[in-house]
Amino acid sequence: MNSEEVEFQVSHPNQEHGLQLPSPTAWPVVLALGVALLLTGMVTSVMVSILGLVLAFLASVGWFRQVLPDEAHQPVEVQAEPVQVSTTRRLATRLPEGSTSRKIIPVETFRITTGIRGGIAGGAAMAVPAAIYSWVKYHSIWYAMNLLAAGGFISWIGASDAFLSEFHLRGLLAALVIHGLTSVLVGLLYGAMLPMFPRYPIVTAGFMAPLLLTGILHSAIAVVSPILNDRIDWFWFIASQIAFGLVCGFVVNLQAKVRTPQFQALPFSVRAGIHGDIHDRLHDESTDSDGEDTSR
Amino acid sequence: MATHIPLDEMHAPQQMGEETHRKLWLEVLHDWVTTVDHKKIGLMYIGYALFFLVVAGFEALLMRIQLAVPNNSFVSPEVFNGLFTMHGTTMVFFVGMPILFGFGNYLIPLMIGARDMAFPRLNAFSFWISAFGGFLLYYSYIGGSGLYGAGSAPDVGWFAYAPLTARVFSPGHSTDYWTLSLLLTGIGTIGTALNIVATIISMRCPGMTMSRLPLLPWLYLVTSGLTFVAVGPLTAAQIMLMLDRYLGSHFFDTQAGGSAVLWMHFFWIFGHPEVYILVLPAFAFANEIIPVFSRKAIFGYPAMVAASVGIGFVSLSVWAHHMFTVGLGPAENTFFVLATMAISVPTGIKIFNWLATLWGGKIQFTVAMMFAIGFLFQFLIAGLTGIMLSVAPFDWQLGNSYFVVAHFHYVLVGAILFMLFSAFYYWYPKITGHMLSEKLGKWHFWLFVIGFHLTFDFMHVPGLLGMPRRIYTYEADRGWMIWNMIISSGAVVQAVATLLFVYNMVISYFKGPLAGPDPWDAWTLEWATSSPPPSYNFAETPEVSSRRPLWDLKHPDDPDSDYESGPGHRRQAKEKSA
Amino acid sequence: MSDVALAPGSTNVTWNPPARGIVGMVCLIIAEAAIFVIFIVAYIYYIGKSLSGPTPKDVLSLPIFTSICLLSSSLTVHAAVSALRRSQQHLCSLWLATTVLLGGIFLAGTAHEWYDLIYNHGLTIRTNLFGTTFYSLVGLHATHVIVGLILLSLALWFSLRGQMQHHHSEKLEVLSLYWHFVDAVWVVVFLVVYVLGR
């Protein structure tokens, strides 16, 4: 886009000429004062504004003449004071040869998208207990859906059970949006936490996902229509959340683990599975000696 | 120009001739006023913000004295209105923004290995115009054309809802002072934000790709991006208000068909992203400080970046949760409730990542780390009350009560101010070359924690009991008495702690032990130069190959670049292990 | 200190971050766009809400000629930049002069329109909501045109004096970015005020 000489003049003015720093200048402060006085005149008197205008004009001219055609620089002397940056006060003690000196956690984990997939699958699964509940209680599978959709339509808050048992296209769409969004959000949050709990996804999801879901979905329902909140059957609600969690975990478990970049840093024998000391390393917290920095 | 150059020439030989010659105070002043050095400008930002912090803190104390007991007449209602308006405006625009931009100014070029900001002169201009904005606001106490020639401060609240600001309801110039000073700082804020973005994008040292950028510049990038889209609307709304007041237009004039609610929308389109503009730099400090004192690299760097950008975007769509009590209608309410709740997802990711960074680390409980951990706890609680308030029916009950005041002070003080103190303890050695006293610092921390919790934990209670914000007094039989007494006494404890902090800063500057370039054994580039850094920052432009360049230097046998994903690095790592 | 430069594994990849002038101008444009968005939202929100006349239908006529002038000035400023890039300084001056002229015509057109509205139709910023939003939105845009014209005239001045060299082409490009933005805003303002609002 630009020629080379423009490049260094503009973005790195100091590289070629030793140490050239922009020279100090009073024009910015004068311009600022001018503009400030210009506005201050609006609450005091016109004279102040005129003074501000004059100052601002003078400063603009001065500033321009300093920057154009070439920016003013002044040379700065480098103090010959060596800074020992490359040393550290505490030297890290190294572990014996053959082992990386870093604790590597986690070596394998799931992708964040895995969590989203799990969330969507769980969201679909959650519909099953909800439909069963609706059928058992109100002999219509649409009741739970309409209950959720009522969040979007204020007029449905006082609606009768009979009305909520019918099928409404609007209800289906609204419920899909609300439920889909929450499922994806819960999945996303869960996916982001997966690297912290890389193992046993079914158990973690069975526990974590309902927890997150209660946090997000349930509070949201309470918000959107507190009256509807009264109609929710808690037993079934929690049952469907657990269904969500288990299916979510199951789906996550199906997905392949990905190897984090750290895996690449392991010695070849470990990666090839000859030593297989990944788990030892993961849990061997005590191998750290005191002076050493723990990493990752 | 004509007056400027001779001055410069006069100074130059003097400085060259006698290095040890003590400069006259006028020369020092001239140096500071004309400086374009990002470090000096950053320090001026911080100093100016600290000055206003003391001023606005003093206003808060006056209000707490007034509210400590029922039926008090320590200040008059008019003065009280002025106090809460000035306290809010000052804290947001003349403390929060400048202090965060000050740290950004000081640290970003150092952290990315640059010699200065992208536009050094614009940087100076932005600072000065913000500063003049602050002085103009406080000049209203003298020049605000109140009764009988006395001054009067703005008294319309920091969000200045519409009918109150009309000429009819706010005669004189007090509201104009507010508008004009915010316009001035708005210019400065946009200028600095622009400068920060251009610096981060264009001035990085060789090798520092965006995926190796330390998290502090990353978050400042998001904050600055937010600043454009948030301060722009504020400026627009202020222009409209000025047109209404000066030229008689009808933007917010309900009698001519204008809308008062439109002002609310415009203000909060600025107002809510503003909260994130203030809190993201606090997150940025945490991202630097927590890893260093856990002796671990930050956990989940890409997730942290993604969450910050996510917060930036979502925060633009939550403004109307400040307006649930207006009666927006169910569809709007639902949207803003859900958006507000959705923002807790990226925020949650951040908290988990900080916890994971702490997990298994060798935590060093320095004062900076203690403040950071306090931040984690308090930010969590502030987030929880935030979720409570995001629930529209709950907000209908508690909107504009002391519960809301407690909630946002929990964010502003419990999270942001705590992280700011942490940043002071962490970077003070770099800035001055002297360590802050850890002993005084621990006193400061514990006193402040106690004062903070006394004030703001108990402030939730009168809110739940129905005490509205911005009342200047209350009757004795309301049952709010004891709570207000506790709150006010907590405020005094906080004031004492802050004085201790100021004392620590002053005494350590003269007597603190020398810090050396890298007292915390940290990993980012600012610790690779002397403390305080020379005006040119780095004698040679550094070159980096990982997110923790100083780690690589300190541990050449085990550099970070082996572990960070990237095209060239895997190969290296393989060679190494083979 | 120079040790910092010698981080292990450093590669000699060419390091070419984006030019700061362009980044800065893009940031400024984003901020300005936010300001315009608010004024445009206010305009749209108040369409048809004036309590009294005159209404846009009565008094506004399409400023087609001046709009064409303004929009074509985007092309001429672009031509000026590319001329400077090829070191054709005289051509650059010519294109800059054309740009200033076209911008001037637009500004004169707006001034004429305002004169007509104020003195023949009695529409001022105080008259009604239409007047309020119209003058503030179009006035805000005109302010930007004026600022742009001042800067372009300065550039023209430097160019005529032969002080504009090839290595200034980036600075001129930054200015042209601003001018493109001003033109793009006019497209939106035109659509909102003269098409949607009428």
The chain C residue lying nearest B538, using CA atoms, is C1
Give the tokens for residue A41. 């005149």
Rounded to 5°, the CA angle A45-B80-B453 comes to 130
**Which helix (H) or strand (E) is B284 found in, with range?**
helix B260-294
Alpha-carbon distance B431 to B102, whole Å? 12
Q: What is the mean pLDDT of residues B13-30?
A: 63
Across the interface, do A68 and C158 touch by the CB < 8 Å criterion?
A: yes
pLDDT at A211: 72
Coil, strand, or helix at residue A265?
Answer: coil
Q: Burial level of A284, CB count in 10 A (0-12/13-18/19+)?
A: exposed
> From the list C19, C154, C165, which residue is nearest A2 (CB)?
C19
Q: Find the mean pLDDT for residues B9-37.
A: 66
User: In A, which residues are within 8 Å of B534 by CB distance?
Assistant: 78-79
- Per-residue confidence (pLDDT) for residue B17, from 0 to 100: 41
Task: Answer yes or no: do A112 and A157 share one domain.
Answer: yes
Better-predicted residue by pLDDT, A189 or B116: B116
Q: Do A11 and C19 touch (CB under 8 A)?
A: yes
Query: What's the CA gap between C161 and A126, in Å, rounded?
Result: 75
List subunits contacting chain A, requiring 3 or more Cβ pairs under 8 Å. B, C
Residue of C174 and A286 predicted with greater confidence = C174
Query: C43 or A173, which is more confident?
Result: C43
Residue B571's pLDDT band, with cuts at 50, 70 and 90, is very low
Least confident range from A19-23, A59-63, B395-399: namely A19-23
The model's pLDDT over B141-190, given as tens digits with 9 standing for 90+, comes to 887 665 554 558 888 889 999 888 888 888 888 889 999 999 999 999 99
A8: confidence class by pLDDT, cuts 50, 70, 90: very low
Distance between CA atoms of A129 and B524, rounded to whole angstroms? 53
- Which chain A residues touch C170 with a CB distance below 8 Å? 2, 6, 10
- Residue A130 and residue A202 in one domain: yes
Give the chain C residue nearest B234 (alpha carbons). C35
User: What sections of chain A are H helices per DSSP?
Assistant: 4-11, 27-40, 46-67, 112-138, 143-149, 161-165, 169-193, 201-213, 219-224, 226-231, 234-254, 261-264, 268-271, 278-283
Comparing alpha-carbon positions, the chain A residue that sits nearest to B124 is: A28
Secondary structure percentages of chain B, helix, strand, coil, to 5: 75, 0, 25
pLDDT reading at A292 higher than 50:
no
| Structure confidence at residue C43 (pLDDT) | 95
Distance from CA of A180 to the nearest CA of B (A): 13
B256: nearest CB among C20, C23, C51: C51
Q: Is the pLDDT of residue A84 over 60?
A: no
CA distance C156 to C97: 7
For residue B18 the two structure tokens come to 């006698």
CA-based radius of gyration for chain A: 33
User: Of 3.50.50.60, 1.20.210.10, 3.30.110.30, 3.40.50.2000, which CATH number belongs to B39-573?
Assistant: 1.20.210.10
Tell me whether residues A85 and C166 touch, CB distance under 8 A.
Answer: no
Q: Would you say B546 and B564 are in contact if contact means Cβ atoms under 8 Å apart?
A: yes
Whether cis (ω within 30° of 0) applies to the bond prior to B532 is yes
Q: Which amino acid is at C93?
A: S
Reply yes or no on whether the pLDDT at A159 is more than 80. no
Distance separating alpha carbons of residues B549 and B561, to the nearest angstrom? 9
A212 and A135 housed in the same domain: yes
- Overall domain count for chain C: 1
Share of chain A above pLDDT 90, in %: 9
Least trusted range by pLDDT, from A206-210, B60-64, C50-54:
A206-210
Q: Is residue A250 part of a domain?
A: yes
More confident of the two residues C190 and A221: C190
pLDDT for res C5: 38
Among all residues of chain A, which has the CA nearest to that of C164?
A: A69
Q: What's the pLDDT score for residue A96? A: 43
The average pLDDT across B72-95 equals: 92
**A-B contacts (CB, under 8 Å):** 218
pLDDT band for position A220 (cuts 50, 70, 90): low
Q: For C40-75, give one letter per residue: b (16+ CB within 10 A) or e.
A: bbbbeebbeebeeebbbeebbeebeebbebbbebbe
For residue C20, the chain A residues in CB contact (below 8 A) are 10-11
**What is the percent of chain B where pLDDT is above 90?**
56
Tell whether C53 is covered by a domain.
no
Residue B45 near residue B127, CB atoms below 8 Å:
yes
Q: What is the residue range of C192's domain?
A: 19-45+67-196
Please report residues of C whose CB lies closer than 8 A to that of A1: 19
Q: Does residue C135 lie within any of the structural domains?
A: yes
pLDDT band at A153 (very low <50, low <70, confident <90, very high): low
**Token pair for residue B148?**
């009988």
| Tens digit of each residue's pLDDT, chain C (198 residues) | 333 333 344 444 577 888 889 999 999 999 999 999 999 999 999 998 888 878 888 888 889 999 999 999 999 999 999 999 998 888 999 999 999 999 999 999 999 999 999 999 989 999 899 999 999 999 999 999 999 999 999 999 988 988 888 888 888 999 999 999 999 999 999 999 999 988
Asked whether residue A250 falls in the same domain as residue A125, the answer is yes
Range with lowest mean pLDDT among A234-238, B319-323, B418-422, B536-540: A234-238
Give CA–CA dist C60/C137, Å, rounded: 14
B32: nearest CA in chain A?
A24
Residue C56 inside a domain? The answer is: no
**C3: nearest CB among A10, A64, A85:** A85
Q: Identify the DSSP state of B401.
A: B
pLDDT at position B5 is: 38
User: Which candidate in C1, C50, C181 is best for mutational testing of the B interface (most B CBs within 10 A)?
Assistant: C1
Any idea which residue has 């050095």 for tokens?
A: B37
Chain C residues touching B232 at Cβ < 8 A: 30-35, 37-38
Amino acid at A18: G
Q: Is C132 in Cβ contact with B258 (below 8 Å)?
A: yes
Q: How far is A13 from chain C (nearest CA, A)?
A: 12
Average pLDDT over residues B364-387: 93
Two tokens at C18?
Answer: 């984006």
Q: Is residue A25 part of a domain?
A: yes
- pLDDT tens for A29-62 read 999 999 999 998 888 888 999 999 999 999 999 9
pLDDT for the residue numbered B436: 93
Calpha distance C5→B540 (Å, rounded): 7
CA distance B136 to B127: 14
Residue C119 lies in a domain: yes
Q: Is residue A283 part of a domain?
A: no
Q: What is the mean pLDDT of residues B450-479?
A: 91
CB–CB of A86 and C21 under 8 A? Answer: no
Tokens of residue B167, six digits: 């000429």
Mean pLDDT of A286-295: 40
Quote the CA–CA distance of A186 and A190 in Å, as a whole number.
6
Mean pLDDT on B44-58:
93
Angular region, C185: left φ>0, alpha ψ -120 to 50, beta rest: alpha
| Separation CA B348–CA A188 (nearest Å) | 11
A33-42's contacts with Cβ under 8 Å and 24+ in sequence apart are: A33/B128, A33/B132, A34/A58, A34/A59, A35/B129, A35/B132, A35/B184, A35/B187, A36/B129, A36/B132, A36/B133, A36/B136, A36/B184, A39/B136, A39/B180, A39/B183, A39/B184, A40/B136, A40/B139, A40/B180, A42/B176, A42/B180, A42/B242, A42/B246
Distances (CA, A) of B505 to B97, B357, C133: 21, 29, 52
- Which range (A189-198, B99-108, C56-65, C154-163) has the least confidence? A189-198
Other chains touching B, judged by 3 or more CB pairs under 8 Å: A, C
Q: Is residue C133 part of a domain?
A: yes
pTM over 0.90: no
Neighboring chain B residues of C18 at a CB cutoff of 8 Å: 201-202
Q: Name the residue among C17, C33, C132 with its Cβ closest to that of B202.
A: C17
Structural domain that includes position A189: 108-259
- Percent of chain B past pLDDT 70, that is, above it, reads 92
Among A5, A11, A85, whose Cβ lies nearest the Cβ of C17? A11
Q: C20-45 and B215-242 helices cross at what angle (nearest 10)?
A: 40
Distance from CA of A269 to the nearest CA of B (A): 9
Asked whether residue A287 is assigned to any structural domain, the reply reads: no
**Cα separation, B312 vs A65, whole angstroms:** 39
Burial state string for A73-94 with b = 16 or more CB within 10 A and e = fewer than 16:
eeebeeeeeebebbebeeebee
Q: B499-511 pLDDT, tens per residue?
A: 999 999 999 999 9
Q: What is Dmax (Cα atoms) for chain B?
A: 86
Residues of chain A contacting C9 with CB distance shorter than 8 Å = none
**Total of domains in chain A:** 2
Give me the residue from A5, A11, A82 closest to C1, CB to CB.
A82
pLDDT of residue A187: 79
Instruction: Indicate whether B85 pLDDT > 90.
Output: yes
Q: Do B243 and C125 touch (CB under 8 A)?
A: yes
User: Across residues B519-539, what is the average pLDDT?
Assistant: 88
Q: Which residues of A touch B140 (CB under 8 A)?
A: 43
Tokens of C187: 């497209």
CA nearest C21 in A: which residue? A10
8 Å CB contact between B218 and B554 = no
A193 to chain B nearest CA, in Å?
A: 7
Chains B and C: how many Cβ contacts under 8 Å? 171
Rounded mean pLDDT, A70-76: 72
Q: What is the CATH number of the domain that holds A44?
A: 1.10.287.70
Residue B160: left (phi > 0), alpha (psi -120 to 50), or beta? left
- At A286 the pLDDT is 35
CATH code: domain of residue C131 = 1.20.120.80
Q: Which residues contact B413 (CB under 8 A, 6 or more apart)?
A: B452, B456
Binned at pLDDT 50, 70 and 90, residue A249 comes out as: confident
* Chain A CB contacts of C168 below 8 Å: 69
CB contacts, 8 Å: B316 with chain C: none
Amino acid (1-letter code) at residue B530? S
pLDDT of C65: 93
